[in-house]
Chain A
Amino acid sequence: MNLYDLIVKRIKEGQIGSDGPVTNVSTSAMLTAEITLISSILVVLIMLRLVNNVIMIVAFLVVLFAALVSMPLMPKLKREQNDSLSNMTFYVILALAIVITLFYWGSLNV
């Protein structure tokens, strides 16, 4: 199916939130990856103290709460980074849009 239908299907699926089974061999790896991901993101957020202390505390608490609520993050992240061409092309175009917007509009207006 083409990319448009894929995006629509993923948005519909994401709201229901399906979870695949996790096998025994990879349980410890999945747990470690989960903890690593959440702690790295939280430490990165502490760097916001260079911008404004209040923003840092708010962002830290929001992200901590969001991560704890949607706890099994790693299976979803692993499923997203698969090898299918349409998935990779979607992220490439998204990254292109983000980089161009950041450099062009961001530098002009900040």
Chain B
Amino acid sequence: MIIDTQLASLFTAGALIVIGIFAAVFLDNLIKKVIGLAFIGDGANLFLIAMGYKPGGIVYIYLPGMARDWFAQNAAYPLPFALVLTSIVIGASTMAVMLGIIMVLYKRRGSLKASKVLGE
């Protein structure tokens, strides 16, 4: 099994998702849970962008002077790049709303422990 860039990225993405699920489920501090959830999102995004890998491929920017057919044969797959940009923005806004809610809850309850604030 040749460990090229794509395979290493897929393993890293898998590790990020597992670490993120562990943090979100087992850690008690709310901020640490949110960091774990950010890891899960990052792992999914890394997996998605790794789908666009092409061995020996070039960046998909059509510069003047390139032969059209050669460019179409050799460019890496551009679709995942657009999807990942959208996904990163969605992840950022979700994190922002979660952190805002945690700020309000901290002001009201005075604690960041999930068992105290959310456990009932």
Contact = CB atoms under 8 A, between A and B. Distances in A.
Asked whether any CB of A lies within 8 Å of a CB of B in the complex, the reply is yes
A93 B120 CA distance: 21
A2 interface: yes
B21 interface: yes
Interface string A77-92: 0000011111001100
B118 A93 contact: no
B100 to A, nearest CB: 18
Contacts of B28: 2
A84 B119 CA distance: 5
Q: Is the interface of B mostly helix, strand, loop or mixed?
A: helix
Nearest to B25: A89
Contacts, number: 24
Please classify how large the interface on chain A is, using the bins under 10, 10 to 19, 20 to 34, 35 or more. 10 to 19
B58 interface: no
A104 interface: no
Contact of B26 (A3, A82, A84): A3
Given A83-B120, A84-B120, A93 B115 contact: no
Q: Is the interface of A mostly helix, strand, loop or mixed?
A: helix
A89 B26 CA distance: 9
Interface in A1-16: 1-4
Contact of A84 (B21, B25, B118): B118
A3 B25 CA distance: 7
Contacts of A84: 118-120
A85 B26 contact: no
Contacts of B7: none
B24 A85 contact: no
B11 to A, nearest CB: 18
A86 B120 CA distance: 10
Interface in A55-91: 82-86, 89-90
Interface in A34-66: none
Given A85-B114, A86-B115, A2 B27 contact: yes
A93 B18 CA distance: 12
Interface of A: 1-4, 82-86, 89-90, 93
Given A85-B114, A85-B119, A90-B25, 5 more contacts: A2-B27, A2-B115, A3-B25, A82-B120, A86-B115
